[in-house]
Amino acid sequence: MVRTTICLADLPEGHTATIRDIDVDSPTAQRLLDLGFIPGTKIRAIKKAPMGDPTTFEIRGYQMGLRRSESELIDIEIKPDEKQ
Amino acid sequence: MKNNKIFLIGNPNSGKTSLFNAITGEKLHVGNWPGVTVQKIEGVIRTPEKCTVLTDLPGTYSLSPATPEEKVVLESIDEASKGKILNVVDISNFERNLLLTTQLVELGLKPILSLNCYDLFTKNGGSINLQRFAALTQLNAYPTVARTGTGVNALIDCLTSEEKDPSICKNPSSLDFSEKWKTVLIKCAKSFNIDWAEASPLKKHEILSKFISTSDNNLTEELIKIRNDFAQEISEESKRTIKPTNLACELAMDRYSRIEKLLAATATVPEKNLPKWQEKLDSILTHRIMGLPMFLALMIFVFWTTFSLAEAPMGWIESGIDFLANFAESRLSEGLLSDLIINGIIHGVGGVLVFVPNILILFFWIALLEDSGYMSRAAFMMDRLMKAIGLQGRAFIPMIMGLGCNVPAIMATRIIDSKFQRFLTILLIPLVSCAARLPVLVLLCGTFFPNNPSLWMFLLFSVNISVILLLGHFSNVMFKAVENSPFLLEMPPYRLPTFKSVLDTLKEKAWHFIEKAGTVILAGTIIIWVLSSFPRDIPLSFDYENEKTLIMSVKDETKRQEALENLDSKRELEYMENRYMAKLGKAIHPIMEPLGFTWRETVSLIPGFLAKESVVSTLTVLYLPFSDDLGEAMTKSGITPLSAFVFMLFTLLYIPCLATFGVMWRESGSLKFTVSSLFIYFIIAYLASFIALKVGELMQTADGTALENILIVISSIIAAWYLINITISSISGKMCNSCSQCSACSSCPSKTENCKGGCHK
């Protein structure tokens, strides 16, 4: 089984992944943690805005739009069976 | 009667405001929270027995503050713990909303829960066992639908009753810390010589944030040891390596696992808060290609209705005011008092009321867009564009409305949730050229550049837009170091707006504008009136009355009329030249001289504060000695097209009108911010005009050196830009690398490898 680790900003639209880690050094991290962006949580990239940024993600049953500067702080892993 | 205090706390978008409106009969704006310009809103719950004050705290996702608004919430916690806390939980987004509840419980608080949006929850297939939920959490929970008022009465009964629910006793809540966290926190508190059980909620929060902080800096040795031991302990337990700097993450995981356990035991939670059909709707409305054109078409429609449909009622208001003025004129004997009533007060009131149709129509649309959930989608689509001037997507609508009129545009900044972003938008809007400035520019351009006025207009607007871009960019880089709130844009479910909520918004906006901004505008109008009509007794250079009788004897009707008009305008000029306004203008003239302005132009800028149109009418009177026609007169008096262009540029930028000033002040809640903004505009206008003058002068040196000169100017502008940029990055860069609790790193322009997101000593 091949596991790939990338940052959330690079998750293609429509794909699902699992959060692996968050860059806790960033001041934004605490807020993301409070919003439920925690390791082990499934997350799906729903849609990029017409101009490429921000992107909406589905997590814990709700949708949140994040800019690239925020979604770059989150490391994810895509398991092969999770694609699509 | 007894006064009790209740604090309303909840996530943004949880229906907090609707619930607040549904519970309270009477709403009071109580100025700002101490020390910050965040509005404090209180309401009164009246029951036959007593009066209870409900305080609306700013919406927040968690108790770890990221913005000044959220800091207010944290700082109110101690006071709130003495009264009651009403926690609004959007049950259609259950897990995430319970995070805040969990944090409250952890600090030893017992909030009363309002499980709001209950209708949406059940419609999506959710269900909850309320008794079980209450028993496990040890909290009172009431399902409510704030928009319709369902369930609100039961909630009010609970809020106003004195007795404690017997079923809620001292059992530990399932949302509270697990034993192992509690033990370590008690240890932690002890290292500060504090008893955890007795500590105030704020103190507890402080200890907790120290314990989970992401670096060992500023921590005592003892605390570092406790952290290390604890990290070791949970590492062994979970068979993962957990660093003591990663405890924040562990705590978040622990909190969510408590929430998940609770929900698994008590409720069936729908998988998504957006039903399938709404996701489809989303994919159409925010479509990659079609989304933007649809939004822009909608914006054009909103813009057109706001400013065209409002023309009729604005006309009625104006004729009503004229009627009133005429009525007063006919009843009052001529004199100072009647002049004050007619030109100061009646026209001042008219100047306030005339904005109301604009505001009502604009806010009708904004309420619809906001309540339906489309606003978040629009912000989502426009965000990338607005980021270019350092704003966020939600700022698009206010900025565009600024093209029509700055006053409703500034009021519309209410839709921006972050305070910093809101202030920045308020700062930038007055630089957007509004419809009232257009006639001034058209007139002046037509006068001085009869060959191709549109080209010069275009040039003016280009300069205007670059100024907005530059100021936005600069303020963003400069102040990012001070404040850095993360960008989060929640996509709420689509909902049908209710008639009542739209009506509430309209009532509130119109009244708020008249009450708050209206007073400022009225006062300003009266000040300008005083300047332009005092001193009363002006010694005239010759006897006009005598001259009048002489003219009356002229036989020819047209000639007599002409001579009379001529005489009247001459007298008006003489009056104006001696009023305080002209004296003030002459006094500040030396400041304006480097821009090549004559004292006449300087004077005309003062009434321009009341309304930009007054610049033209004042100029017309002041230039009478040269010619009736303003353009001709100004040319005759020796004003070149270049200095006219500079004057137009200055007029465009130098100061917002009085009404805009009033709204800026009241909407920002800060006089300091408003006055410093005025200075900023003035400095910008001065600099831009000065540069334009110098560039123009250089270009006019028509010999072979012209091209050279232009090159010099351009290269020096680029050099200056480069220098300023370097300075800014070194300032914010320094903050980035030196401070311990730095918040600027992720946005730091000089971010280097060793400053990856975090800070280094």
Which chain B residues have a beta carbon less than 8 Å from that of A70? 486-488
Band of residue B163 on the pLDDT scale cut at 50, 70, 90:
low
Residue B103's pLDDT is what? 95
Residue B244's pLDDT is what? 87
Residue B278's pLDDT is what? 92
Q: With an 8 Å Cβ cutoff, are A38 and B252 in contact?
A: yes
Q: Three-state DSSP class for B106?
A: helix
Nearest chain B Cα distance for residue A80, angstroms? 23
Band of residue B485 on the pLDDT scale cut at 50, 70, 90:
low
| Sheet (strand A16-22) strand order | A4-7, A74-78, A16-22, A42-48, A55-59, A62-66, B488-491
By a Cβ cutoff of 8 Å, what residues of chain A touch chain B?
A: 22-36, 38-41, 46-54, 56, 58, 60-67, 69-70, 73
pLDDT tens, position by position, A65-83? 999 988 999 999 987 665 5
**Which alpha helices (DSSP H) does B212-346 contain, by range?**
221-238, 247-266, 276-285, 291-304, 311-331, 336-339
Which chain A residues have a beta carbon less than 8 Å from that of B96? 35-36, 60, 62
Band of residue B483 on the pLDDT scale cut at 50, 70, 90:
low
Higher pLDDT, B428 or B452: B428
E strand map for B437-593:
488-491
pLDDT tens, position by position, A22-50? 988 887 888 999 999 999 999 999 999 99
Query: Could you give the percent of chain B with pLDDT greater than 70?
Result: 90
pLDDT of B204 strictly over 90: yes
Q: Give, in words, the CATH class of B3-160.
A: alpha beta
Instruction: List the one residue out of B62, B76, B36, B56 whose CA is nearest residue B202.
Output: B76
Which chain B residues have a beta carbon less than 8 Å from that of A41? 256
Instruction: List the one residue out of B70, B394, B87 whose CA is nearest residue A30.
Output: B70
Q: With an 8 Å Cβ cutoff, are B253 and A49 in contact?
A: no
Distance CA B569, CA B415 (A): 49
Which chain A residues have a beta carbon less than 8 Å from that of B381? 49-51
- Domain extents in chain B: 3-160, 179-268, 539-575, 702-761
Query: Could you give the percent of chain B with pLDDT greater than 90?
Result: 24
The dihedral through the CA atoms of B127, B130, B132, B135 has a sign that is: positive
Instruction: List the one residue out of B147, B152, B143, B91 whose CA is nearest residue B495.
Output: B147
E strand map for B47-178:
51-56, 84-90, 112-116, 127-128, 141-143
The torsion region of residue B156 among left (phi > 0), alpha (psi -120 to 50) and beta comes to: alpha
ipTM score of complex: 0.93
pLDDT of B748 strictly over 60: no
Q: With an 8 Å Cβ cutoff, are B64 and A67 in contact?
A: no
Band of residue B744 on the pLDDT scale cut at 50, 70, 90:
very low
Backbone angles phi, psi at B215, to 5 degrees: -140, 160
Q: B661-687: b or e for each residue (b if 16 or more CB lie within 10 Å)? A: bbbbbbbbbbeebbeebbeebeebbbe
| Sheet (strand B141-143) strand order | B26-32, B39-46, B51-56, B3-10, B84-90, B112-116, B141-143
Q: With an 8 Å Cβ cutoff, are A39 and B249 in contact?
A: yes
pLDDT of B560 strictly over 60: yes
B99, closest residue in chain A (CA to CA): A34
Band of residue B738 on the pLDDT scale cut at 50, 70, 90:
very low
pLDDT tens, position by position, B40-80? 888 888 887 778 889 998 889 999 887 778 888 998 998 88
The arithmetic mean of pLDDT across residues B175-192, rounded, is: 91
Angle between helices B453-480 and B641-653 (to 10 degrees): 40
Instruction: List the one residue out of B426, B364, B372, B375 whose CA is nearest residue B399.
Output: B426
Nearest chain B Cα distance for residue A75, angstroms? 13
B411 and B506 Cβ atoms separated by less than 8 Å = no
Beta carbon pairs, A and B, within 8 Å = 151
Domains and CATH numbers, chain A: 4-82 (2.30.30.90)
Higher pLDDT, A48 or B459: A48
Band of residue B556 on the pLDDT scale cut at 50, 70, 90:
confident
pLDDT of B424 strictly over 70: yes
Joined tokens for residue B611: 């309304």
pTM: 0.81
According to DSSP, residue B150 is labeled: B
Which chain B residues have a beta carbon less than 8 Å from that of A60? 95-96
Residue B719: how many other CB atoms lie within 10 Å: 10
B291, closest residue in chain A (CA to CA): A50
Nearest chain A Cα distance for residue B286, angstroms? 7
Joined tokens for residue B310: 């409002």
Q: Does B191 touch chain A (CB under 8 A)?
A: no
Residue B7's pLDDT is what? 93
Which residue among A36, A56, A70 places its CB closest to the CB of B487? A70
pLDDT of B32 strictly over 70: no
**Which alpha helices (DSSP H) does B83-129 contain, by range?**
94-106, 118-123
Higher pLDDT, B735 or B489: B489
